[in-house]
Structure 1
Amino acid sequence: QFHIFVGDLSSEIETQQLREAFTPFGEISDCRVVRDPQTLKSKGYGFVSFVKKSEAESAIAAMNGQWLGSRSIRTNWATRKPPASKENIKPLTFDEVYIQSSPSNCTVYVGGVNSALTALSEDVLQKTFTPYGSIQEIRVFKDKGYAFVRFSTKEAATHAIVGVHNTEI
């Protein structure tokens, strides 16, 4: 996937409008407007991910400076922030995690896994996440260094995120 940062979004722009604006450039694998977890107001930026690099490059070139809603947007490659040092990480709260996804979302993303290590397995994930609730499915993408764990309830998934976030498994 090739991730584009879209900045200077006007507050009325929703994820669907962002997706529609970038759809002409190619297949979009992910798209979202970033929101404040407490107020749910747009933070004024978002991300659009394309399957093909050439399509992402075309979108960046064509959309930078274009008007979307009531503002001219900025586009560029999305870059990852360097990981915060362990001392500066504030623990997550159940409520802030719970409101960040739809009521039907019961899936936990497990990322930041070194794919060179073979420790990422269904068994390890089962042992790590079973204490948080009933697991429906575990999908491991060893070569990519991540996995998904689907719980039977959103509450269980939320407890798992709060409990396991920023830990080593």
Structure 2
Amino acid sequence: MKILIRNLTRNTTEAELKALFETYGTVQSCTLVLDKDTGISKGFGFVEMPKIGEAKAAMKNLNGKELGSSKIRVKKAEQKPADSKSDAASEDD
């Protein structure tokens, strides 16, 4: 299951994010979305967890958790339409 993590501080690393989610199970991949020009985090990223039960536990327990100096928001990533050219995460909740 692909999980969207928002409201990350700009200095959160992929390693920190992966370690946080690994407490709930196997992490298949972990990716921060970076600005193309600056290489700085845009404040959100994705984690993929192959086991649905582990992914759901991670989402339930980590949503609203403090990471760094902000409370992260965690939810299932929506599938983007195949013809969409926008980012995988829409910024409107």
Per the normalisation by structure 2, the TM-score is 0.86
SS at match of 1:33: strand
In the TM superposition, 1:82-97 aligns within 5 A as 82=81, 83-84=83-84
Greater relative contact order: 1 or 2 (C-alpha under 8 angstroms, separation 6 or more)? 2
Q: Is 1:59 equivalent to 2:55 in the alignment?
A: no
Instruction: Please give the per-residue CA displacement for 1:32-54, whole angstroms capped at 9, x wherever unaligned.
Output: 11101111010110011111000
- Root-mean-square deviation (CA), in Å? 1.0
| Aligned-partner residue type, residue 50 of structure 1 | M
Cα offset for 1:81?
2.1
How far, CA to CA, are the matches of 2:80 and 2:38 in structure 1?
23
Cα offset for 1:4?
0.5
Q: Please say which structure displays the higher CA radius of gyration.
A: 1
Structure 2 counterpart of 1:154: none
In the TM superposition, 1:1-169 aligns within 5 A as 2-82=1-81, 83-84=83-84
Instruction: Please give the per-residue CA displacement for 1:21-42, whole angstroms capped at 9, x wherever unaligned.
Output: 1111000000011101111010
SS at match of 1:57: helix
Name the structure with the higher helix share.
1
Cα offset for 1:80?
2.0
Instruction: Could you list the structure 1 runs, at least 4 aligned residues long, displaced by more than 6 angstroms after superposition.
Output: none
How far, CA to CA, are the matches of 2:37 and 2:66 in structure 1?
28
| Aligned-partner residue type, residue 72 of structure 2 | I
How far, CA to CA, are the matches of 2:38 and 2:79 in structure 1?
24
| Aligned-partner residue type, residue 7 of structure 1 | R
Structure 1: 5+ residue stretches without partners = 90-169
SS at match of 2:28: strand
Identical aligned pairs, as a percentage? 35
Structure 2: 5+ residue stretches without partners = 86-93
How far, CA to CA, are the matches of 1:12 and 1:71 in structure 2?
11
Instruction: Please give the per-residue CA displacement for 1:72-113, whole angstroms capped at 9, x wherever unaligned.
Output: 0000000122222xxxx6xxxxxxxxxxxxxxxxxxxxxxxx
Structure 2 counterpart of 1:137: none
